[in-house]
Amino acid sequence: MSHSRASGVQREKRVNMNEMPSADLEVDALGMLCPLPVLRAAKRLRGLRPGQVLRLETDDPAAVIDVPHFCNESGHELLGQQSGQGSHIWWIRHKP
């Protein structure tokens, strides 16, 4: 994931799912609309230890804005995102 600290913007990085680390926890947020996918991710991340990875699956179109913004504001690392068949899969590493 590319980070620009000056602007606080995270650029989207499309990755091969085989390149992503295995998830310590998977969250299915399909069918949930803003802000529920991010709220669900935040709640589940609170239960993880620093460095652990959350895999979040969403189909809310607003998630392409909400998830990177959430990671940027909360300090969690957005490792990557995969899109396909109307859904998005996000890998988020719990902040140190």
Q: Which residue ranges form the domains of the chain, and what is each CATH number?
A: 2-93 (3.30.110.40)
Separation between Cα atoms, residue 3 and residue 10, nearest integer Å: 5
Catalytic choice (34, 39, 48, 64) = 34
pLDDT in tens, 38-93: 999 999 999 999 999 999 999 999 999 999 999 999 999 999 999 999 999 999 99
pTM strictly above 0.85: no
pLDDT in tens, 27-53: 999 999 999 999 999 999 999 999 999
Catalytic site includes residue 71: no
> What size, in residues, is the chain?
96
Tokens 């998630």: give the residue: 63
Q: Which whole-number Å values give the CA distances from 70 to 19, 28, 32, 56, in the listed order?
A: 23, 17, 16, 13
Measured in degrees and rounded to the nearest 5, phi and psi for residue 53 equal -115, 135
Q: Is the pLDDT of residue 19 over 90?
A: no
